Chains A and B, each alone.
Chain A
Amino acid sequence: MPVAFPFSAIVGQDEMKLALLIGAVDPRIGGVLVFGDRGTGKSTAVRALAALLPKQRAVVDCRYGCDPEAEPDILCAECRARRANGGLRSRQVPVPVVDLPLGATEDRVIGALDLELALTRGEKAFEPGLLARAHRGFLYIDEVNLLEDHLVDALLDVAASGENLVEREGLSVRHPARFVLIGSGNPEEGELRPQLLDRFGLSVEVRTPQDLPTRVQVVRLRDEFERNPPAFLEKWKRKDAKVRKRITDAQATLPEVEVPTHTLEQAARLCMALGTDGLRGELTLIRASRALAALEGEREVGVPHLRKLAAAALRHRLRRDPLDETGSTARVDRAVQELFPE
């Protein structure tokens, strides 16, 4: 695998980086959608995140990488049996960041009969697909708007239920598949269906920087990286390690972060003012704000956290008003300014 550009060397794009970190701290936020201009480092950031994530414990020999500490209903059938027959042996493994390549066929995404066994031994066995590999990690889809519809539907279904059910060739397999879905794309190539948009927890917009110093900085770092990747990685290793530490610390403190009633009320007021459909927006906003507080080393979620994440959590859930030409981001910002003046 080619060397990834270091996460901390990505210039600007703070909102995207923050959203990815929040996804790493709390996988339950429901995925991150990164939409924006070409050449803004969308894929670079995701691949960089993969290289940065702290390791996690997984059951030895488990095909799905089950968490040894998990509740029984999140374990796969084999691990449940193993646990019943005595303990689960585990080891440190990297967090999976699975690329869903364009052109992937359904059988490889969801899982299907093992072709090799079928051909060589005439046996029927289940071969897990990409969803199984992404369990407890990230599933990254570049150009998510170009993905075939039937694949998108299957993915969303699994992402929502956290479980993959395969019924094929008389084979019936059920296995856990909890992952953070990361989609990226360029709106010029086609937008996403609204029902799909709503399934993503956070949505960030990325733009090409238009000021000279930032652009120069981007070009320079890229040039330095390409000339000598190992040296470049070495140079940024410490900064990346700091980010990694932030993630592990935040993961540890997340359960202790409180959300006071006042903050809950403020979040509800904001969602009401914006008229977002359903409760998903509110839930995501609170959850993401907790992760943000944890990342910042705080024990309580306050209005500043809401303010920082309002746009990412809500902008893709607004109903479109055809006459309001201002974008959804501006509308969220306006509502935030009105409700929570600084």
Chain B
Amino acid sequence: MTAGQRDDHAAPPDPWELAALAATLFAVDPIGTGGVALRALPGAVREQWLADTRELLPPGTPRRKIPLHVADGRLLGGLDLAATLRAGRPVAEHGILAEADGGVVELAMAERVKGSPIAYLCAALDTGEVVLERDGITLRSPARLGVIALDEGHDEDERVADALVDRLAFLLDLSPIGIREMGDLPYGPDAIAAARERLSSVTIGTEQVDALCGTALALGIHSIRASIQAVRVARIAAALAGSDRVSDEEVTLAARLVLAPRATTLPYLPPEDEAPPPEPEPPDQEGESENQPEPEKRDDPLADQVLEAAKAAIPRDLLDRLRLGQLRRPKVRSTGKAGQVQQSNMRGRPAGVRRGELRPGDRLSVIETLRAAAPWQRVRRAERPASSDGQSRRIEVRKDDFRIQRFKHRSETTAIFVVDASGSSALHRLAEAKGAVELLLADCYVRRDRVALVAFRGRGAELLLPPTRSLVRTKRSLAGLPGGGGTPLAAGIEAGLALADGVKRRGGTPLLVLLTDGRANVARDGSGGRVKAGEEALTCARLVLAAGVAALLVDISPHPQPQARELAQAMGGIYLPLPHADAGRLSAAVKATAGV
């Protein structure tokens, strides 16, 4: 949100003041606080903030930058091949993390860094060292460091990985700060040096720890690391102020800086607040009800005060996000590494190499293969029989050296059509449903998607066509689809979901297209009854959402049904009534759902 909209907030802390304080506190103990997740676009404000922290850190503090797409070897260290060959013995090379020991690393474009670099950083933050087991080298080097994660994300989806954010004490958003609002820093390097001296002797009171923990709970902050960080920050603040005991003011500050930006619920909103009251929490947060503030806590004045302060510092747009139900929830569980981006040997963006046998279709990485072979030349030459002396100067490459280029690419989509072939549908609409599927099929064909077909009628569901690229086969099995019987909707969704799971496991991206009128009347066990069948269908639909499978429901009844709409909502999918679904719209909807 922009600065203008912040004016009406009750006692808003000045954003620059907080940012400057965070910089100072971080400079006192970069290692203990873990670091700062700094959300800001590149620009004068960010540069100034970074320059300020640099000035505050003692001279000589190492500072390294981690570029996006950093290679594992560069981050962790490894064999220094040039030096190794020159010296004739293995020479290890320190990685960025070990080089930054005792100082700070800046993670560039942190919102786009995922996977292994994040895991390495987290391990270094947790253990304070880098353990290297690579390229024939075992090396343990200290890597006590603080991280400044430069988050240039635009919207909610683009954020620094949770695992890293969890370990950083400060979450700062510099975007509301204009260059003219930036002032001086409250403390200089001398004060910081003094605070570093003092830090280990600063103590915090029991009731103060209580207050911080209570506030974290009331704000719905799940991870306990936040509370631990808040205690650390309070102690640092006291050390800066030249005191050996944490004062309530410093506890309040810690809550503002550490806890407020992580709030997931607003604890308590006075009715006179000009802000419109938030709607009840989204239904899918019911599991978090234990996070609600406990009423008896209101008697504790310090806890109250801390909570108030934290509330005032909660980002203004939290309200909006809560209302929209867009607040980041724990991610849906995914299975294995299957996802949108897949590793493959075929095509896409280069993504490292792997050791292995060269199979048809693989691409050899010549440079990496030669690198792997280089250190072993002497041994191999020695092994060579004397007779072949003339060729001994050539580089000897063996199967063990082969390094195969890996690529990342978007995985292919498999559209799974789950077609309701029951009597109620068949009567009027099955033909039209088939037409709709054919439309979509043509579309899938153009995009080289694979297609699978599940039909359900009578007592259960049936897989008519496992994932295929053959349009002809699909059309044939669709044409031969008989209609009639009950509507075992739950069984149909379940079968589609099982198929989707298989697709994901093999590294594809499934898309579930359900064509039904939503009127279930056969339960999974084959018994009749609308109520039970309907409930089961809804439960299955929720599983689709939980599995994170993209879904689209085409309502094929003559008059759009509320059940079908409910079902689509439960799946978290798009609802599309057939009467309005002409070819263009269907195709557009599939494209939108598949994210192509």
Contact = CB atoms under 8 A, between A and B. Distances in A.
Interface of A: 1-2, 37-40, 43, 47, 99-109, 112-116, 118-120, 122-124, 127, 129-130, 142-143, 145-146, 149-150, 168-170, 186-193, 208-210, 212, 215-216, 218-220, 222-223, 226-228, 322-323, 325
Interface in B360-406: 375-376, 378-379, 381-383, 398, 400
Contacts of A47: 127
Contact of A38 (B223, B382, B490): B223
A212 B210 contact: yes
Given A40-B224, A186-B163, A227-B203, 8 more contacts: A38-B163, A100-B133, A102-B123, A169-B379, A190-B335, A223-B204, A223-B232, A323-B524
A39 B226 CA distance: 9
A182 B252 CA distance: 40
Interface stretch (B180-188, B214-222, B450-458): B214-222
Contacts of A123: 379
Given A38-B166, A222-B228, A325-B539, A168 B127 contact: no
B281 interface: no
A39 B224 contact: yes
B301 interface: no
A210 B494 contact: no
Nearest to A127: B136
B375 A118 contact: yes
B479 interface: no
B129 interface: yes
Contacts of A112: 136
B119 A120 contact: no
Nearest to A107: B136
Contact of B90 (A115, A143, A215): A115
30 contacts: A39-B225, A43-B126, A101-B130, A103-B134, A105-B134, A107-B136, A108-B135, A113-B379, A115-B135, A118-B375, A119-B84, A122-B378, A122-B379, A130-B133, A142-B123, A143-B119, A150-B356, A187-B333, A190-B337, A208-B222, A208-B224, A215-B216, A215-B217, A216-B213, A218-B228, A219-B213, A223-B204, A223-B209, A322-B540, A323-B539
Interface string B442-481: 0000000000000000000000000000000000000000
A106 B355 contact: yes
B116 interface: yes
B580 interface: no
A209 B337 CA distance: 28
B424 to A, nearest CB: 23
A36 B313 CA distance: 30
A43 B125 CA distance: 12
Contacts, number: 184
B49 interface: no
> Interface of chain B, helix or strand or loop or mixed?
helix
Given A103-B76, A216-B210, A227-B200, A108 B134 contact: yes
Interface of B: 32, 72, 75-76, 79, 84, 88-90, 115-116, 119-120, 123, 126-138, 140, 162-163, 166, 200, 203-204, 206, 209-210, 212-214, 216-217, 222-225, 227-228, 231-232, 235, 290-291, 294, 297, 330-331, 333-337, 354-356, 375-376, 378-379, 381-383, 398, 400, 490, 494, 497-498, 524, 536, 539-540, 543
Nearest to A104: B133
Contacts of B235: 223
B127 A103 contact: no
Contact of A102 (B90, B119, B128): B119
